[in-house]
C-alpha cells in the first residue's frame, strides 16, 4: 500500500512538498527523504507526532530510544508507517526544531492499495523550505553559486595590481 503525503509549513507559505511512501517503510525512511529534500542537516533531532481528534500531539515517533519504563513509545527505525497511520489519522506533525517548537505539517492525501514502492520518493517540490535552526542563513542556491563562479571566471581574482597594469614607472 502506498501513502500519498502533502507537506507544508506554517512559516513558508509558498513551500509545498509531495511524496509517496510504502506502508512497509519506516518513519526513519520518511524522515530521511524529508531531510534530504529540504536540505536539513541530519545531526539535528526530529520527531513525528500523531495528534488525537483535538489536534494535540498524542503519539511520538522519536529518533532516540528513550527507554521509558512501561510507557508506549515508538522509534523511527523500528516503526512502520502502516503501524500508526490509519485512514482516520490523516495528519502528522514533523517537529524539526524542539527549542522553538517548529514543525512541518504532513497530511495524508490518499492511499493506493495495490502498489508497492522500494523507497519513498518526492513527486513535487515547490518554494523554499523554512530554515532548520532559527538565526541560520538560508542555504545559498545553486544558481547564486553559479553566478558567483561566472563572475570569478570573467575577471579572475586579482592577487596583484601589477599583474594587470604593470609597474607605474612604465607610464
pLDDT digits 0-9 by tens, 96-139: 988 888 899 999 998 888 778 888 889 999 988 888 877 655 55
- The answer to whether the Cα torsion of 30, 35, 41, 47 is positive or negative is negative
Reduced to 3 states (helix: H, G, I; strand: E, B; else coil), residue 137 is coil
pLDDT category at 141 given cuts 50, 70, 90 is low
The whole-number average pLDDT for the span 74-102 is 85
Which tops the pLDDT comparison, 152 or 124?
A: 124
Phi then psi dihedrals of residue 124, to 5 deg:
-160, 135
> First CA to last CA across the chain, in angstroms?
79
Cα separation, 29 vs 146, in Å, equals 32
Which cell numbers hold the place of 156? 579572475
Cell of 75: 522509534
**Structure confidence by residue, pLDDT tens digits, 37-70:** 988 887 788 999 988 888 788 888 898 876 665 5
Amino acid at each position: 500500500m502506498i501513502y500519498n503525503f502533502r507537506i507544508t509549513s506554517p512559516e513558508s507559505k509558498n513551500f509545498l512538498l509531495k511524496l509517496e511512501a510504502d506502508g512497509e517503510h519506516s518513519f526513519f525512511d520518511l524522515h530521511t527523504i524529508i531531510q534530504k529534500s529540504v536540505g536539513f542537516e541530519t545531526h539535528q533531532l526530529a520527531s513525528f507526532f500523531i495528534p488525537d481528534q483535538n489536534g494535540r500531539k498524542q503519539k511520538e515517533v522519536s529518533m532516540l530510544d528513550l527507554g521509558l519504563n512501561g510507557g508506549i513509545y515508538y522509534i523511527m527505525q523500528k516503526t512502520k508507517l502502516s503501524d500508526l497511520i490509519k485512514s482516520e489519522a490523516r495528519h502528522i506533525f514533523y517537529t524539526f526544531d524542539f527549542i522553538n517548537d517548529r514543525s512541518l505539517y504532513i497530511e495524508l492525501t490518499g492511499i493506493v492499495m495495490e502498489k508497492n514502492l522500494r523507497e519513498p520518493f518526492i513527486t513535487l517540490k515547490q518554494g523554499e523550505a523554512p530554515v532548520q535552526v532559527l538565526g541560520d542563513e538560508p542555504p545559498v542556491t545553486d544558481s547564486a553559486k553559479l553566478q558567483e563562479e561566472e563572475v570569478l571566471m570573467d575577471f579572475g581574482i586579482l592577487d596583484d595590481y601589477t599583474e594587470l597594469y604593470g609597474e607605474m614607472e612604465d607610464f
